[in-house]
Structure 1
Amino acid sequence: MIRNYLKIAIRNLRKHRGFTFINIFGLALGLACCLLIMLYVVDELSYDRFHEKADRIYRINTDIKFGGNDMHMATSPDPMGPTLLKDYPQVENFVRLHGRGTFLVKQTGQTNNLRENDILYADSTLFDVFTLPLVSGNPKRALVEPNTVVISESAAKRHFGNQNPIGKTLLFDNKFTYRVTGVMRDIPANSHFRTDFFVCMRSDNYEWGRWLSNNHQTYVLLKEGVDPQQFNQNFETIIQKYVGPQAQEFVGTTIEQLRKSGNRINYALIPMTDIHLHSKQNIELAPNSDIQYVYTFSAVAIFILLIACINFMNLSTARSANRAKEVGVRKVLGSVQRQLIGQFMTESVLMAILSMGLALVIVALALPFFNDMSSKQLTIDKLFIPRFLPVLLILPLGVGLLAGSYPAFFLSSFRPISVLKGRINLGLKSAGLRSGLVVFQFMMSVILIVGTMVVYRQINFIQTTKVGFNRNQVLTINEAYALGNQTQAFKEEVRKLPGVANGSVSGFLPVPSNRSDSPLFPEGQLDQNKAVSTQQWGVDYEYIPTLGMELKEGRNFSRDFGADSTGIILNETAVKVFGFKDPIGKRVWRMMDDAGKVFKTYTIIGVVKNFHFESLRQNIGSVALMLDPSLGAISFRLSSQDIPVVVKQIEAKWKQMAPGMPFSYSFLDDSFDAMYRAEQRVGQIVLTFSVLAILIACLGLFGLAAFMAEQRTKEIGVRKVLGATTTSIVGLLSKDFLRLVLIAILIATPIAWYGMNQWLKDFAYKIDVPWWVFVVAGMVAVVIAFVTVSFQSVKAALTNPVKSLRSE
């Protein structure tokens, strides 16, 4: 029986090649979209699961409200890990990571440095907690001694070629020497932290034992069976026993008094496997994603697959009149409905299998472009691992049964006498299900169009909104410390170049980086209720004009005022939190030691207008600028339009004053835009799948239009004989479909409005969803639907009425 079904199915598919191609291509496109998104979603959900003990590893997050700032950090105090291991038997082990950023690295004795990013300090327990296999070296001893480093295989190849690096030394920033004690496999891409260098934590020149400083990512490995939610209750004891005494010594008040005044300090565990998708903390080791994107893309995949299945139903139904007599003859000859259903389901499953084969080809061709959009390294071979093979086998079977179910039951239900007498009525009014399917298709299309427009408008708003400084044509040179005592001389030499308007040496720029807040106090008031937690940036005299910031009142730092070494400039937020009505001339105290014993007095000489130094998802915090010969970065404002020429001239100066050091630079607007790469990727992906969803929906509408035109052939012939014009016939055939599209728009509008407003909640500064977005999306859907339907309508209207009526 199955063999007979297959033989007849193949004959039918070959006989109607055009129908077969459209149906298989539509299903293949839907399946390919589903597979691509499945690869993306599975990769997102796999983060950090390669660690053997991943289900027992937790990071400690810190939540602090103090001095007007609300801070949610991925870091915790440096004593936290050792204390938990000592005091609580539920903790099996711990490890701390401390991000140290970028270093210039070279093999000892070599001349040229390489710029290495994201270098981390780590405890010697690193390899006991995380699964990071060493290909060389002893994991138990690799990071025990100070001035040792474990490097990745990639780093070993870059710096040592084919040599064995164990025992050799690397020079960091031309002054720190580290001995290589281990070579590890490259950390997988699906890790929430990635580095090629782990330096022994004991090499870090850090003042240990500070419970009020949160600078380390601390991970604990809980023992089997420990409930993390129950363990969280122990942090209150930690706060009372360890944090409280230091807080009282620092601000002269108890934890209870701090909390009564509206401040707080809390610690909590977060599963390591949740960090990538669920953590929205500051000071992460690498940018995270968002679980909302996983939900969004999963929904898009399901909807596109459903749209493809709907197309199959509509296209199969469109051919129902052609196969009605076949069904009638089969029933007269003794076929029962069950056999007919089996025949049509076999055809459906066969087309689904063929579609899956074509879908895999499409995925292979599209994957490089999809990887560029999503910033992933996905490969098609991941679809053929054992856990995915059942999906590849079950998916076409399920899709075939789902897509073929309605046509199979519909076609097999024809009454043979009515069919053979030509008295079947398959008009649109009796096809409520098909109409509902078309409404669903275009509802999803409208939602995707609205989503794409809103995402791109928000990104454009971010890129064009005033951020409080001029980020255009500001070139930043990284690793300025490589110049040593020639930093200022280099800055002045470059400022003399034509096309360079100004230059500044500073510790921080208004783009995200690893930095923390410190308190400032009004003079004479060491009261925690008066403290203001601020970003404290060391800058020079040219910082504000170079970055194009605006002073609201007061003045900038000036060499004409010797006392400016103790001058300070606050932003508007800091002034507001302090409560100063007339801030100029007021004095504040800055803590100069961790014990809170030594303070320095600063006089406020200016107030700078608020500027964004974090993502627009966050409100502007407090910032204080003070003169400090920091060597973090050198920035130059360029006035020339011939940027490449100026950059080459600056590079020539660099090579002259810092021979052997790599010349690394970036533009401030690029660094600013990098904060929103995730949104840009989401916009591109949503746009791509929106186009594909609309294309697939149009295939379904095309099939339904063909079905209607076929059923109304004689009606059209009669109307033409009675004088109807082509325009009137096109309008007659199109209005029913346009009505369905309008219904889809009405349903989609509130759903899209709600969904996009939920997405925009993540931004402190955002657009309002304008009404015209829905109008444009609706018009696009109507135009697409009209063009699709008109093709079949015009074709039917131009048919010779003699051919339509010759059987009467």
Structure 2
Amino acid sequence: MFKNYLKIAWRNLWKQKVFTLINVGGLTIGLTVGLLLLLWVKNELSYDRYNTKWDRIYRLTTDIHVNGSDFISSQVQDVMGPTLVQDYPQVEKFVRLQPQRDIMVQKGHETLQEKKAAWADSSIFEVFTLPLLAGNPKTALTAPFSVVLSETAARKYFQSTDIVGKMLHINNTADYRVTGVMKDMPDASHFHFDFLLSMSERANSRSNNWGNHDYYTYVLVRPGVDNAFLNARLKDITYKYVSPFYQQILHFSLEEIEKQGSHVRYAAMPLSDIHFYANRADQSFIEPSGNIQYVYIFSAAGIFILLIACINFMNLSTARSASRAREVGVRKTLGSQRKQLILQFLSESWLICAMAMLLALVAAAILLPFFSEMAGKKMTINLLDQPQLIVYFIGLLLIVGLLAGAYPAFFLSGFKPLQVLKGKLLSGSNTGGLRSALVVVQFVISSVLIIGTIVIYNQLQYIQHRQIGYDRRQVLVLQNTYPLYKQVNAFREAILRIPGVENGTMTGFLPTGQYRQSPSFFKDRNAAIKDAITTEAWQVDQHYIPTLGMKVVAGRNFDPQNFGTDSSAIIINETAAKMLGFKDPLGKELYDPKTDVSDLRASHIIGVIKDFNFNSLHHPVTPLILRLQEERGSMAFRVKTDHIQDLVEKVRQQWDAMVPGQPFLYAFMDNEFNTLYQADQRTGNIFIWFAVLAIIVACLGLAGLAIFTAEQRTKEIGIRKVHGASVTDIVTLLSKDFIKLVLIAIVIATPLAWYVMNGWLDDFAYRTTIHWWVFLLAGCIAIVIALFTVSFQSIKAALTNPIKSLKTE
């Protein structure tokens, strides 16, 4: 019986080639997009799930709010993890990580820079699932100056993984013994390291320093323990250990802090939440985080595009109801039951879906490398390694087939044979309202996607062109300039003598860099809690502000040659000035403790600098203090030349002359700035491409309906032409109904799109405005697309010889 259903289905589909092609084409595009987005969403949701104990691992976070200033971090004190394990048996293990973006590793006669390195406790292999190819995981990182390499790093430096006991010279200072080789960390991980160095030489868990927050700390809890229990224990620790420390160092307790409306809190974040919910600015020290909004948006986009394709199928199937009505009548007269007819029509639907699914799998396999590159992810369709995909595909096939074919099946099978055989059934007119509603739904979705595309494009352009308080153009950044050591000033002077170099500054604290410090300052020497603020504090030189094109809005820049007291001077940004509440901050003093509040360092304010963005535009500008102090982490040079590569080569030659054998590492600040928004750029491009595909699918359905309408009105068109109707009149006649539906869709889509995109823009502290013209432009685009889609068939029908039209039956 089922074979007979398929045979009849195939004959009907072959007979109606145009409609079959439109249905299969639309479903193929919809399923291809759905599969690609399914792989993307699956990849996002799988982050850190490779760990066998992922549901018992938590990362500790810090939230300090003092007098309107905030310090929110994914890092805590080095003693927090050991204390939890010591005081609470429910906490099984802890591991601390301290990423080191730039380490120098000697390979033969050359020194290479490695960016994926971190100090780690030996317990890392007990908490995380990081299998070792060589070495003992229990002892690999216990000894000082030991290092575990990834498989990639091991082959890079030794061409083998059997290297336990080999030595590596790191950071030009020490020899490290290789004690293990681990498999490369999975792509879907919130951190990736090629070098794990022993924490035993770095952290001192007995230091009892509860003031510094500079370690990513993870804890493994015993089965049955949840984060609510862990958060309660962290609160206990805060009052038991942190409060006495504050009392000793700052001379006020947590109770006094809370009375001022401030707080010091620590929390546990589940490992599976880190990729989506970690503090973005802070998380970048390990790896850029994801955005759960994009998971929702792309999931919805995939469902909506599939829905559009299904609507096409339903529309075209019900539109062709008249051509199938006589078949239904005859089969019912001959004894066919309704359930048999339903199965017949569902068989046609599943056959179309099966054809589309096969084509979609081929298309997805072809497009996946390009999509992976666009998304910045490594995704594969491997049914052997990913058997769950087979379940997804079968489920998707059944659901889409049922969704697309259910209504046509029940509608067509419901025809009464007597009415059909007497010719009383009109040509699908009783489904005209449904078809109109479905067309409106299609173009509501399409219009929302068009508006979304315009808004995303505008926001990305806004990011690129917004005035951010400094000039990032043509700024050459030399990274990791520590090897220059005492020659650093001589090197800067030598570079300034190169034609095309206008200015240069020496500091690792750059707006697009990773260096950060967040100490506390007091407005009064009494160091009362009401006078405390937490702020960024950067060490810069007198060339920093002019080199980066920043603006001093009050006071002056550092000038140690003419002002000897500038060694204790500071410059603050506008946000810090507002937070401090000084009417005139110039000449005022701020105090920060060297060891405790009994040993305060006074710094006088000599200038106020215009706010500049030193985090991404997802975050507002926070208080910042610039202090005149040498910091050799990096150098930045403002250049002005049409021969930039020649200039870079001259800088390289000077570098090689002063520090031969050390890697010359450079970047341009505008490229580093763009890296901050790489994830937004990628997701924006993905959204735009899929929006275009959704519109194409909607247009396929509209084209099919235009063909059907023209066929149904062939005689009417002939009569109108005989009576003098022009081609324009006929095109207008056939197009106006569709345009009305598109206009209705635009009216519905406008508030919906505004709500959705406004929510997306709320994720940015600095955002573009959704102007009225966005909706007008989107509406015009939708109307033009609809007109272009139906006009071809309308013009074809209008140009048909009326004699031929009047002969049709």
Which category describes the TM-score, using the shorter chain as reference length? over 0.9
1:483 aligns with 2:447: no
Relative to structure 2, which stretch is displaced further, 502-511 or 388-397? 388-397
Aligned to 2:33: 33
Aligned to 1:71: 71
- Whether the aligned pair in 2 keeps the contact of 1:318 and 1:703 (CA below 8 Å) is no
Aligned to 2:220: 221
Q: Distance in 2 between matches of 1:416 and 1:429?
A: 16
Aligned to 2:143: 145
- TM-superposed CA distance for 1:523, in Å, is 5.5
Q: Distance in 1 between matches of 2:571 and 2:226?
A: 48
- Whether the aligned pair in 2 keeps the contact of 1:57 and 1:219 (CA below 8 Å) is yes
Aligned to 2:689: 688
Aligned to 2:180: 182
Aligned to 2:263: 264
Structure 2 counterpart of 1:325, which letter? R
- TM-superposed CA distance for 1:415, in Å, is 4.1
Q: Distance in 1 between matches of 2:494 and 2:179?
A: 42
- TM-superposed CA distance for 1:460, in Å, is 1.3
Q: How does 1:134-533 map to 2 (within 5 A)?
A: 134-162=132-160, 164-204=162-202, 208-280=207-279, 282-284=281-283, 285-381=286-382, 385-420=386-421, 422-426=423-427, 430-511=431-512, 513-522=514-523, 524-533=525-534
Q: Residues 30 and 454 from structure 1, CA distance in 2 versus in 1: closer, same or farther, beyond 3 angstroms?
A: same
- TM-superposed CA distance for 1:420, in Å, is 4.6
Deviations 1:64-101 (A, max 9, x none): 01254212211111111111111111111111111222
Relative to structure 2, which stretch is displaced further, 347-356 or 377-386? 377-386
Q: Distance in 1 between matches of 2:773 and 2:280?
A: 35
Structure 2 counterpart of 1:250, which letter? I
- TM-superposed CA distance for 1:756, in Å, is 1.0
Aligned to 2:562: 560
Across the aligned residues of Structure 1 and Structure 2, the Cα RMSD in angstroms comes to 1.9
Relative to structure 2, which stretch is displaced further, 49-58 or 9-18? 9-18
Q: Residues 383 and 263 from structure 1, CA distance in 2 versus in 1: closer, same or farther, beyond 3 angstroms?
A: farther
Q: Residues 154 and 738 from structure 1, CA distance in 2 versus in 1: closer, same or farther, beyond 3 angstroms?
A: same
- TM-superposed CA distance for 1:566, in Å, is 1.9
Relative to structure 2, which stretch is displaced further, 527-536 or 142-151? 527-536
1:57 aligns with 2:77: no
Aligned to 1:548: 549
Q: Distance in 2 between matches of 1:358 and 1:399?
A: 15
Q: Distance in 2 between matches of 1:786 and 1:429?
A: 25
Deviations 1:526-549 (A, max 9, x none): 222212322111111211110001
Q: Distance in 2 between matches of 1:475 and 1:214?
A: 31
Q: How does 1:609-624 map to 2 (within 5 A)?
A: 609-624=610-625
Deviations 1:714-755 (A, max 9, x none): 222221222211211111111111111111111111111111
Give the alignment partner of residue 582 of structure 1, picking from 581, 584, 588. Answer: 584
- TM-superposed CA distance for 1:472, in Å, is 0.7
Structure 2 counterpart of 1:391, which letter? Y
Structure 1 counterpart of 2:583, which letter? K
Counting aligned pairs with the same residue, the percent is 50
Deviations 1:309-342 (A, max 9, x none): 1111223334334333333443444434333332
Aligned to 1:130: 128
Relative to structure 2, which stretch is displaced further, 654-663 or 122-131? 654-663
SS in 1 for 2:115: strand
Specify every segment of 5 or more residues in structure 2 that has no aligned partner in the other structure, as ranges: none
Q: Distance in 2 between matches of 1:548 and 1:282?
A: 23
Relative to structure 2, which stretch is displaced further, 432-441 or 645-654? 645-654
Structure 2 counterpart of 1:258, which letter? I
- Whether the aligned pair in 1 keeps the contact of 2:134 and 2:161 (CA below 8 Å) is no
Relative to structure 2, which stretch is displaced further, 82-91 or 226-235? 226-235
Deviations 1:150-171 (A, max 9, x none): 1100111111113732112212
- TM-superposed CA distance for 1:297, in Å, is 0.6
Structure 1 counterpart of 2:638, which letter? R
Aligned to 1:104: 104
1:22 aligns with 2:10: no
Aligned to 1:11: 11
Q: Residues 714 and 449 from structure 1, CA distance in 2 versus in 1: closer, same or farther, beyond 3 angstroms?
A: same
Specify every segment of 5 or more residues in structure 1 that has no aligned partner in the other structure, as ranges: none
SS in 2 for 1:380: coil
Q: Distance in 2 between matches of 1:446 and 1:514?
A: 44
- TM-superposed CA distance for 1:124, in Å, is 1.4
SS in 2 for 1:51: coil
SS in 2 for 1:268: strand
Structure 2 counterpart of 1:549, which letter? M
- Whether the aligned pair in 1 keeps the contact of 2:47 and 2:275 (CA below 8 Å) is yes
TM-score (norm 1): 0.96
- Whether the aligned pair in 2 keeps the contact of 1:283 and 1:515 (CA below 8 Å) is no
Structure 2 counterpart of 1:103, which letter? I
Structure 1 counterpart of 2:573, which letter? N
1:654 aligns with 2:655: yes
SS in 2 for 1:136: strand
- Whether the aligned pair in 2 keeps the contact of 1:328 and 1:415 (CA below 8 Å) is yes
Structure 2 counterpart of 1:36, which letter? L
- TM-superposed CA distance for 1:277, in Å, is 1.6
Relative to structure 2, which stretch is displaced further, 69-78 or 470-479? 69-78
- Whether the aligned pair in 2 keeps the contact of 1:328 and 1:416 (CA below 8 Å) is yes
Relative to structure 2, which stretch is displaced further, 705-714 or 370-379? 705-714
Q: Distance in 2 between matches of 1:692 and 1:152?
A: 41
Q: Residues 35 and 411 from structure 1, CA distance in 2 versus in 1: closer, same or farther, beyond 3 angstroms?
A: same
Q: Residues 139 and 372 from structure 1, CA distance in 2 versus in 1: closer, same or farther, beyond 3 angstroms?
A: same
Q: Distance in 1 between matches of 2:485 and 2:513?
A: 25
Aligned to 1:591: 593
1:726 aligns with 2:727: yes
Q: Residues 335 and 205 from structure 1, CA distance in 2 versus in 1: closer, same or farther, beyond 3 angstroms?
A: closer
Aligned to 1:91: 91
Q: Distance in 2 between matches of 1:635 and 1:404?
A: 64
- TM-superposed CA distance for 1:692, in Å, is 0.4
Q: Distance in 1 between matches of 2:524 and 2:265?
A: 29
- Whether the aligned pair in 1 keeps the contact of 2:22 and 2:704 (CA below 8 Å) is no
Aligned to 1:701: 702
Aligned residues: 805
Aligned to 2:44: 44
Relative to structure 2, which stretch is displaced further, 558-567 or 444-453? 558-567
Aligned to 1:569: 571
Q: Residues 149 and 350 from structure 1, CA distance in 2 versus in 1: closer, same or farther, beyond 3 angstroms?
A: same
TM-score (norm 2): 0.96
Q: Distance in 2 between matches of 1:18 and 1:94?
A: 64
Deviations 1:498-551 (A, max 9, x none): 111111101300125252310222352322221232211111121111000111
Relative to structure 2, which stretch is displaced further, 311-320 or 779-788? 311-320
SS in 2 for 1:691: helix
Q: Distance in 1 between matches of 2:11 and 2:554?
A: 84
Q: Distance in 2 between matches of 1:384 and 1:97?
A: 32
- Whether the aligned pair in 2 keeps the contact of 1:428 and 1:435 (CA below 8 Å) is no
Structure 2 counterpart of 1:241, which letter? K
Structure 2 counterpart of 1:339, which letter? Q
Q: Residues 263 and 141 from structure 1, CA distance in 2 versus in 1: closer, same or farther, beyond 3 angstroms?
A: same
Structure 1 counterpart of 2:305, which letter? I
Structure 2 counterpart of 1:587, which letter? E
Q: Residues 527 and 199 from structure 1, CA distance in 2 versus in 1: closer, same or farther, beyond 3 angstroms?
A: same
